[in-house]
Amino acid sequence: MTFSYPVITMATRDIQRQQHLKVFYRRAQELLLDDDRDYLHSVLKEYQQYKAIDRLVSQLCHVLDTPQKLDLLKEIRKLIPPQHLPHFDRLAPYHKMAHPIRPAVQHVKRAGTAPNNAMVNGHAGQF
């Protein structure tokens, strides 16, 4: 007897990513002016190239300067690779959002380190 398990393929991940991008672009269109969207695009391209989470979150806070705009963090978070989410979650000011989220704490196991519980109290790093 063989069992069939659902497999998440690259194609499935690509479809999910495309769906996340559509939602992100729509929300950015609703919340940001053209100059802010251009700046956000350049910030995300820079992150894609250098993978610098600290710089990404710092620059996001310049453009997402109201609680309503900070709601875009929910969509941006879905674009961050899983290995970078714990760091992103520690820094992102989710508590300042118009509709705050409490992402599940992600643990990346590293030899000799304890798990990060920075989001347990609902507050991430301050800027």
User: E strands within the chain?
Assistant: none
The mean pLDDT value of the chain amounts to: 82
In the predicted model, is pLDDT for residue 111 greater than 50? no
Residue whose tokens read 């600290």: 54
Task: Judge contact between 121 and 87, C-beta under 8 A.
Answer: no
pLDDT at 122 over 80: no
The model's confidence at residue 29, banded by pLDDT at 50, 70 and 90, is very high
For the chain, helix, strand, coil in percent to 5 are 55, 0, 45
pLDDT number for residue 10: 66
